[in-house]
Amino acid sequence: MIDDTNVYDLSKLKIVVADQSQFVRRLLAAVLTGLRAPSPFTADSSDVALRIIAETAPDLLIVDWDLQPMNGADFVRVLRDETSSPNPTLPIIMISGHCALDRVTQARDIGANEFIAKPFTVDAIYKRLVALIERPRPFIRLESYFGPDRRRKLEEFAGDERRRVNPNPIMSSEDAA
């Protein structure tokens, strides 16, 4: 349950919700406005979502895995492409009705910051928003990956380099400001 005294001020966030289902878009909009965020921009397709992201420079994207014509996974890959994306460091929450561990892992491995299973609760949405605010993960660039560090716990390692390739943390768009 959300304690009203500890709710973050989300009133200045620009959020894009991309889901084919009008019901889910309306439900997410109601949840977000209930959490005192402004009404989100909504998109019923990946084409519309990409146009909205390019035009509005949002702070957050909530995208469904089953988006069309480009599915959510491919859409996240396009957004994380540093050469063509309007915002490759945009925080992304992936939502899906399929929440097996392999789906969650795949969402993480393509660059989603957070994952929420459908049906979702207000508390689940709020907890993911808080995670993005309180525990943002640095973006890293590897030969085959660009996105938020996939490790949740960054522990010190004593000894030789833990991996042959040492990821290079980069600044997010907020750090550069």
Categorize the per-residue pLDDT at 150 as very low, low, confident or very high, splitting at 50, 70 and 90: confident
Taking the model in full, what pTM does it have? 0.82
Average pLDDT of the residues of the chain: 86
Please give the structure tokens belonging to residue 55.
Answer: 């035009």
Domain 4-176 CATH (choose: 2.60.40.420, 1.25.50.10, 3.40.50.150, 3.40.50.2300):
3.40.50.2300
* Segment 48-82, tens digit of pLDDT: 999 999 999 999 999 999 999 999 999 999 999 87
H or E stretch at 134 = helix 122-134
* Cross-strand pairs, 61: 16, 92
d(CA 124, CA 114): 11
Domain segments of the chain as ranges: 4-176
96: left (phi over 0), alpha (psi -120 to 50) or beta: beta
Categorize the per-residue pLDDT at 177 as very low, low, confident or very high, splitting at 50, 70 and 90: very low
Decide which of 129 and 159 is more confident: 129
